[in-house]
Amino acid sequence: MMDSLWLHLRNSSVGRRLRAYPWIARPIHALACRLLPSTCRVRSGPCAGLWLEPAPSWPTDLWEGGYEPEVQAIVNALLGPGAVFYDVGGGAGLFSLLAARKGARVLVFEPHPVNAECIARHARMNALENSIQVVPLAVHSVCGHLEMEIAQHGSQLAAPGYGESRRSKKLKIPCVTLDEFSRSHPPPTLMKVDVEGGEFEVLKGSLR
Each residue's pLDDT tens digit, 24-64: 666 655 656 666 677 889 999 999 999 999 887 777 788 88
3, pLDDT greater than 70: no
pLDDT recorded at residue 154: 46
What value does the mean pLDDT take over residues 51-78? 89
Considering the chain, what percentage of its residues have pLDDT values greater than 90?
Answer: 58
Please give the mean pLDDT across all residues of the chain: 84
What value does the mean pLDDT take over residues 127-141? 97
pLDDT in tens, 111-130: 988 899 999 999 999 999 99
Rounded to whole angstroms, the Cα distance separating 90 from 170 reads 19
Task: Give the dihedral of Cα atoms 158, 162, 164, 165; nearest 10 deg.
Answer: 120
157 phi and psi, to 5 degrees? -120, 145
